[in-house]
A and B are shown apart, each in its own frame.
Chain A
């Protein structure tokens, strides 16, 4: 796109608020105008923005000095900062700088408090070291003001490692003979040696003090006996700690008053910085600024209209054809809003490549259904739904990842309620064990009929795998890669029915006519031939791999049974305890609550993990490679601020 230089600011503003274009910088290899245009001039204001950003960060960093507290964590959870953005009224960039200057002036005390805190911390460290050294001298009942150098003598105390002690004392004697007075006191780990020596021996003694295993104890400037000095040191440390607490309180005051505003202004400065930073990335001529970038096709018209409006027609947007683009396009998901929260599950594996099928619409419902089947407990489902809804309500205005997660959690909970009801799970077997009633609407209890559940799991497996194969087949067909469509996917559509016929005939489930049996054998032979032709001997592993993928779905049964079984175990334990004595009912209730909660957490985790595993390993392997680049548009979603000036 091109914008007349006179309308550049308005154009950039329109582009930024649209937030639909990923800029290709002029110096990038992909840029088509690299050779023909000059880069735009870097604005001086950009430097100011960078400086203000750094200074705001410095003030915000001071709040990290405040120790974290559970009450603040809870407050942040209940009232996320991005759910209540601060309205900012800013007329121009210079007005923004003026306001930031004012707030930086008001919060200068926070920086001061931080530097005071650092000094206090260093002083405390030094005092604690001195405290340790003085404590080592407790066995010497002497006035510590004696230590240090005088005109004629020096008094030094050193700690010596046990194994070095003998050789050190020997060297002292070799060095000074009778001119050195020494006294040794031993503790369990080391020896402490008091040394009195004439000034002339100082250089030689200092050399000895540098030997390994020798530490000179720092107790100069201490007056009095060790016990008294320790008390005064303790008082001094206490005094500094109190001072530190006062400074933390000051910082807390600053945080309470200014944190939200600081975050909002930092965001505003970042927004301004990003806008100014665009120009050096563009190509410019005398009259026109040229911006190249990626844009979703669906947004092209609206951007063009918006630019026309803000620049009074002094801008043009011209799409480039596929041949003119050098690199692969970035990828943006295009799903309805109800599927948006599930996109992160796909991204966790890999973002789809450009032109590849996005598995999210398939992943989302299947993930929810599998989770419900695996958890299979309506009681747990209700708790998960409630938790999910509470988090959703709390973060309904927030852009935090918890917002999306809460939606997934709520759906998973609803699924668990439905499948839990059908499987008869209400905190395990609570209705029948404690109240003697059978839960309603039960279709199939995994613990009573595991084989039926086993069959359901395998049927779901076949359907899921074949959905993957069909998607892969469709994708290869669309790319006109007919060879892969046949070798990788098509062949399984021949082998599966043939194998099913032969298996059903072998086990006598259906009567297979001779002709059908021959047809099935032919199908198998053709299928195997294609597999071994395309993959060589490794084709064997394709067969075991397919079988493995299919059998892998039986985890649905195993996990469903595990939830009910463990819950039943907890119930039995609670019942046993309550049965021993009526006084133990409280303990029984405690075992019930803790056990059920533990089972809920462990099994929900298992349900999530194994549901997603079935997607990543068994399903995705049939059609999805991924590896696409994320689309990062020019523009930023505000979290902490809104522009009150419109």
Chain B
């Protein structure tokens, strides 16, 4: 019996599947369990109801375990017959593990929603059904993760033992896993919105539909993640079995996956805004439309992520099947994906500002425009990320198909991507300032200018990131190519 690197990766894939989903389910069940413990201390007769809510965020761990068992079973680990599995199949198993494992983090959001469900259903038993529906909505992300994992296992032939993968396709599977897995965190935003929905519907049952709409808009990021995964599978030939062989194409897929995956975190901001939107709609039904507008603003980052993912696939020839790209460009694609994806987290700041905007608009309708301006301020970081991603695409020759060839240069661009991407996190701080600025402006309109100055100070660090990114790209000499 020979245990090769492929078999080792299969084991790692199983570990990732069960490990990451355990983190998610652990935290999610923990949050709900804490609420349940509190409720049953006061009302022991609510034990059964609390147990059902606490069990809801557990499913993610079950999905993780299921995929891990499937991987181990197919890899011969369970029968003690683990043989030499080809490296590409090992990579595919890692992709499947990442897909279901990372998507298992959705359990955190589900836990937030379910804990609100426990709290309200203990006071008003008639809200039980609605609480369960709101909690179950956050499961979609995990289901998408499971779906992609199973598709990878089926199409790579791991399940049937009829192996059908190239190293490039294996890497592409990792891209798929990152895309749907990381985007699964959008459930955290959805959970925040859903918990507000549960609270609102317990007071006003007629708000159920609107609450569900607010919660559902935070699912878009997961859908984009799923979409990118499907496109990657399709373009790398997984559906047809006509698999791509160019290694760089697999690396590009990872870049695309990182772009939509990390951009999926923007749903957390959207969830914060949507929760405020539900609260405002409960007080004033006419706030529904404006609440949706504020929440939808935070979706821009996800759109940038999806856009860059599709452009990366288009410009590198993945869509057209023109496989002349170099490995150096592949790594630049990772740089582009990180730039736009990580900068997508700026939406969290935007969501914080938007939630304040919603509150202010509910009180004073004339604050709508100013609220939107303050929220939009936090989007600059995302635009910097998009800018660097486009610069990378342009100057590594993706658009002209005059690809750079030096591998080290391609890897070095990742530095630029990380600089501007992580710099985008400064928007979270900026969002906090903007939220306060909105409140100040609502009280005194002349406070707007001063508040904007304070808000702009947080952006300095994003500009540092942008500057360093451009200096890196300049220093690499790619601007002169």
Contact = CB atoms under 8 A, between A and B. Distances in A.
Given A448-B239, A557-B230, A548 B303 contact: yes
A541 B376 contact: yes
B139 A627 contact: no
A214 B372 CA distance: 57
B227 A569 contact: no
A380 to B, nearest CB: 15
Nearest to A453: B230
Nearest to A457: B227
Given A541-B300, A565-B150, A602 B307 contact: no
B140 A547 contact: no
A569 B292 contact: no
B159 to A, nearest CB: 7
A331 interface: no
B239 to A, nearest CB: 6
Contacts of B212: 609
Contacts of B306: 551
A626 interface: yes
B231 A454 contact: yes
B154 interface: yes
A612 B219 CA distance: 14
Nearest to A613: B216
Interface string A546-573: 0110011011011101100110110011
B432 interface: no
Nearest to A544: B300
Interface in B216-241: 216-217, 219-220, 223-224, 226-227, 230-231, 233-234, 239-240
A390 interface: no
Question: How extensive is the interface on chain A, given as a class?
Answer: 35 or more
Contacts of B151: 565
A491 to B, nearest CB: 19
A621 B291 CA distance: 13
Contacts, number: 109
B136 interface: yes
A365 B78 CA distance: 52
Contacts of A562: 143-144, 147, 226
A625 interface: yes
B227 A557 contact: yes
Contacts of B139: 602
A625 B289 contact: yes
Contacts of B154: 568, 572
B234 A451 contact: yes
Interface in B46-76: 66
A364 to B, nearest CB: 16
Contacts of A50: none
A610 interface: yes
Given A451-B234, A538-B376, A544-B303, A613 B213 contact: yes
A547 B311 CA distance: 14
A349 interface: yes
B303 A450 contact: no
A609 B300 contact: no
Nearest to B295: A617
Nearest to B303: A548
B388 interface: no
Contacts of A613: 213, 216-217
A18 interface: no
Contact of A569 (B146, B231, B240): B146
Contacts of A565: 147, 150-151
A559 B227 CA distance: 9
B449 interface: no
Given A572-B154, A610-B216, A627-B286, A348 B239 contact: no
Given A349-B288, A609-B216, A569 B150 contact: yes
A602 B142 CA distance: 12
B373 interface: yes
Interface in A113-142: none
Most buried by A among B224, B227, B306: B227
Contacts of B213: 348, 609, 612-613, 616
A447 B234 CA distance: 9
B391 interface: no
Given A350-B289, A609-B213, A558 B223 contact: yes
Interface string B185-220: 000000000000000000000000110110011011
A377 B209 CA distance: 24
A605 B304 CA distance: 27
A439 interface: no
Given A451-B234, A605-B133, A612-B213, A559 B286 contact: no
Interface in A447-466: 447-448, 450-451, 454
A548 B299 contact: yes
A412 B29 CA distance: 35
Nearest to A557: B227
B393 interface: no
B197 to A, nearest CB: 12
Contacts of B87: none
B155 to A, nearest CB: 10
A606 interface: yes
A558 B373 contact: no
Contacts of A349: 288-289
Interface string A576-614: 000000000000000000000000001001100110110
B147 A569 contact: yes
A602 B240 CA distance: 28
Contacts of B372: 538
Given A547-B303, A562-B143, A613-B213, A626 B289 contact: yes
Interface string A604-643: 0110011011001100110001110000000000000000
Contacts of A610: 216, 219, 223
A165 B213 CA distance: 56
Nearest to B59: A598
A450 B146 contact: no
Contacts of B233: 450
A591 B373 CA distance: 52
Contacts of B240: 448
B143 A605 contact: no
Interface string A187-226: 0000000000000000000000000000000000000000
Contact of B303 (A538, A551, A555, A621): A551
B367 interface: no
B227 A558 contact: yes
B286 A450 contact: no
Most buried by A among B140, B146, B373, B379: B140
Most buried by B among A573, A606, A625: A606
Interface string B347-372: 00000000000000000000000001
Nearest to B144: A562
A547 B137 CA distance: 26
B412 interface: no
A561 B230 contact: yes
Nearest to B399: A506
Given A348-B210, A602-B136, A450 B307 contact: no
Interface string B122-162: 00000000000100110110011011001100100001000
Contacts of B289: 349-350, 620, 625-626
Given A450-B234, A605-B137, 19 more contacts: A348-B209, A350-B289, A451-B231, A544-B300, A547-B307, A551-B303, A555-B223, A558-B227, A562-B147, A562-B226, A568-B154, A569-B150, A602-B139, A610-B216, A613-B213, A616-B213, A617-B217, A617-B296, A626-B289
10 contacts: A348-B210, A348-B213, A350-B285, A350-B286, A350-B289, A538-B373, A558-B223, A558-B226, A566-B146, A627-B286
Interface of A: 348-350, 447-448, 450-451, 454, 507, 538, 541, 544-545, 547-548, 551-552, 554-555, 557-559, 561-562, 565-566, 568-569, 572-573, 602, 605-606, 609-610, 612-613, 616-617, 620-621, 625-627
Pick the 9 closest A-B CB pairs, nearest first.
A548-B303, A609-B216, A565-B147, A569-B150, A558-B223, A348-B209, A555-B223, A558-B226, A450-B234
